[in-house]
Structure 1
Amino acid sequence: MNDFLLAGMVAAERLPVAHESKQAVLSELKNSLAGESGEQRTATLLKRELHLSGQTIFLSDVHIPYKDGSAQIDLLVVHAEFVCVLEVKNMVGEFYFDSVNFQFHRIIEGRREGMRNPEAQLHRAVRAASGFLGVPVHGVIVLASRSGKVVEAPKHYPIVSLDYLPFHLELLAQGSKLFDAAALTLKLQGLPTRNSNRSWLERHRITLDSLRLGVTCPTCRNCSLEWQERKWSCAACGFYSRDAHEVTLQEYALLFGNELDTGVAYRLLGVKNKYILYRLLEKTALHSEVRGKRKIVENRELLRNYFGQVYR
């Protein structure tokens, strides 16, 4: 789960039903989950079925600087004999690529839906990767769902089913070493981490005040825990924990950054006693050089494990 997907999960859980962006957030999250599922299946299949000499490196959710912004790559395959961008689509329906106007639409249950053109997305990603790495880069659109059918194919890039993808990539190998795969991978891994959550929050008009605050009960999902007798307790289901607040702190850091104002911390965790607050923040939100400020020790893996139980 990348940061964008995690942010959608946090917002979907904490935004009230009446918020103007609640339905848009839920819709985006549904699409993001489907996309991640397709990318995971693709990576798993390739690691199992792709047979190439030497090491093959798979990089997911890569953001490469391009012009005034960046190009996002679902999955990048780096090998000594080729580099290939995979644009993974986990969609159902009949697909139509307009080779004249370069538009794209699908027919699903008799409805025509216009969508972003995967070929245009792939072309941008290929150009960004090639320019950044300084090597020729291939590209392919991957259909991760067996319920998708191509009626009109794209003009400039191949589109293949997930089952056929290993064979397609094996055909790209020319039998001679062209690149230093490790060096290319190191260059890509040296890119700064991109966090677009702030612009996403602004687009959906999500602020701290618009969210349900408190430490969420992981069993009930929609109510807050209370700190009683040195533990977090849920009056509704009886759940209790000593460290449930750590997830809440990670959610805050994900959305708003790791700098935490002490005054905000009281509201965020739903406690009033300063000694209780300091005890809760002792190991997870350290004192900073600025009075009244804390630095949350970020741990994305904690959030991945937490939401992995919800969206498994």
Structure 2
Amino acid sequence: MNERLLAQMVLVERLSKSHPAWNSISSELKSSLAGAGGEQRTLSLLKRELILPGETIILTDLSIPNGSGYAQVDLLVVNQKLVCVLEVKNMKGDFYFDSENFQFHRMVDGRPEGMKSPESQLHRAVKATERFLGIPVAGVIVLASRSGRVVEGPKNYPAVSLDYLPFYLESLVGGRKLVDEQKLAAKVRALPKRSFDQNLLERYGLRIDSLRLGVTCPRCRNSALSRKNRKWHCGGGGGSFHDAHEVTLQEYAVLFGAELPTSFAYRLLGVEDKHLLYRLLEKSALRGNERGRRWIVPRRELLEAYFGSIWR
């Protein structure tokens, strides 16, 4: 799960359903989950069935420098004889590409829906990757859903069904070695990870006070836990837990960054006792040189496990 997906999950759970932004963020989350599902199926299929000479490295969820910004790359296939950007679309409906104007729409149940052009997104990603790596890069639009059908196809890049993708990539391999796949993959992996930006929060005018604070019960999902006898207890009958606050700290870090003011940590975790707070933060949010500040130790696997049980 990338940080934007995790942030959307946190907001959907922490924001009241009566908030004006909840429906829009929930809709965005569903779209993000569909996209992530398509990318995961694509990755799994390539690992099982793609046969290229030598070693093949598949990199996911990349942000490639592009002028003053970044181009998003869903998957990058790196082989000594082929480097290819995959733009994965997990959509249903009939697809219409306008390659002259880089426009796109789909028909779902007889209704047209205009969307960002996958061809335009792929072109941007391919050109940014070529400039960054200094080599020719191929590009493919991957149709991950069997409920999608191309009526008017793109002219500049192929649109390939997921089932056929391994065979199509194998057909692109030429006769000579283009790159050292290990060195190229290392160059891409060395790119700094882009942290979740504040665009989503700013777009909906959300602040920390917009959210429900406290440590959430991982069973009933809507009760704030209380701390007693070294455990977190759910007043709604969800049970008791040892380290439920760890997830809350990670949720805060995804939305607002790793820096946590100690004065706010009381409200975030719903505790009042100073000594209890320090015990809870001792290993999870470390002290720095600046008084009154802690830095949350990143453990995103906690969020993936927490939300993965719901959003399968």
Q: Which bin holds the TM-score, normalised by the shorter protein?
A: over 0.9
Shift of the alpha carbon at 1:304? 1.1
Q: How many residues align?
A: 312
Q: Which residue of 1 aligns with 2:218?
A: 218
Residues 258 and 296 in structure 1, CA contact (< 8 A), matched pair in contact too:
yes
Q: Which residue of 1 aligns with 2:275?
A: 275
Q: Which residue of 2 aligns with 1:164?
A: 164
Range 223-232 or range 207-216, more displaced = 223-232
Q: TM-score, normalised by structure 2?
A: 0.98
The one-letter code matched in structure 1 to 2:248 is T
How far apart are the structure 2 equivalents of 1:101 and 1:71? 20
Matched residue SS, 1:169: helix
Residues 99 and 119 in structure 2, CA contact (< 8 A), matched pair in contact too:
no
Query: Gapped runs of 5+ residues in structure 2?
Result: none
How far apart are the structure 2 equivalents of 1:113 and 1:133? 35
How far apart are the structure 2 equivalents of 1:197 and 1:40? 23
Residues 220 and 238 in structure 2, CA contact (< 8 A), matched pair in contact too:
no
Shift of the alpha carbon at 1:42? 0.2
Q: Which residue of 1 aligns with 2:208?
A: 208
Matched residue SS, 2:36: helix
How far apart are the structure 2 equivalents of 1:210 and 1:224? 16
How far apart are the structure 2 equivalents of 1:222 and 1:142? 38
Shift of the alpha carbon at 1:279? 1.1
Query: What stretches of structure 1 move > 3 A for 4+ residues in a row?
Result: none
Q: Which residue of 2 aligns with 1:62?
A: 62
Any idea what the Cα deviations from partners look like across 1:126-173, whole Å, max 9, x if unmatched? 000000000000000000000000000001000010000000000111
Q: Which residue of 2 aligns with 1:147?
A: 147
Equivalent residue runs for 1:36-75 within 5 Å: 36-75=36-75
Q: Which residue of 2 aligns with 1:133?
A: 133
Residues 196 and 254 in structure 2, CA contact (< 8 A), matched pair in contact too:
no
Residues 81 and 174 in structure 1, CA contact (< 8 A), matched pair in contact too:
yes
Residues 88 and 144 in structure 1, CA contact (< 8 A), matched pair in contact too:
yes
Matched residue SS, 1:74: strand
Q: Which residue of 2 aligns with 1:81?
A: 81
Any idea what the Cα deviations from partners look like across 1:21-44, whole Å, max 9, x if unmatched? 111110110000000000000000
The one-letter code matched in structure 2 to 1:167 is F
Residues 219 and 237 in structure 1, CA contact (< 8 A), matched pair in contact too:
no
How far apart are the structure 1 equivalents of 2:89 and 2:164? 14
How far apart are the structure 1 equivalents of 2:80 and 2:99? 33
How far apart are the structure 2 equivalents of 1:100 and 1:246? 51
Range 195-204 or range 110-119, more displaced = 195-204
Range 298-307 or range 85-94, more displaced = 298-307
Q: Is 2:114 the counterpart of 1:114?
A: yes
Any idea what the Cα deviations from partners look like across 1:105-137, whole Å, max 9, x if unmatched? 000011100000000000000000000000000
Matched residue SS, 2:212: coil
Matched residue SS, 1:310: coil
Matched residue SS, 2:76: strand
Q: CA RMSD in A?
A: 1.0
How far apart are the structure 2 equivalents of 1:262 and 1:136? 50
How far apart are the structure 2 equivalents of 1:86 and 1:238? 43
How far apart are the structure 1 equivalents of 2:292 and 2:102? 54
Any idea what the Cα deviations from partners look like across 1:55-113, whole Å, max 9, x if unmatched? 10001111001012100001110000010000000000000002332210000011100
Identity within the alignment, %: 62
Range 18-27 or range 132-141, more displaced = 18-27
How far apart are the structure 2 equivalents of 1:240 and 1:284? 20
Cα pair distance change 1:195/1:238, threshold 3 Å: closer
How far apart are the structure 2 equivalents of 1:105 and 1:211? 36
Q: Is 2:167 the counterpart of 1:173?
A: no
Query: Gapped runs of 5+ residues in structure 1?
Result: none
Matched residue SS, 1:294: strand
Q: Is 2:7 the counterpart of 1:10?
A: no
Q: Which residue of 2 aligns with 1:264?
A: 264
Any idea what the Cα deviations from partners look like across 1:195-244, whole Å, max 9, x if unmatched? 24322211122211000000011111122111122210111123211110
Shift of the alpha carbon at 1:305? 1.5
Residues 92 and 108 in structure 1, CA contact (< 8 A), matched pair in contact too:
yes
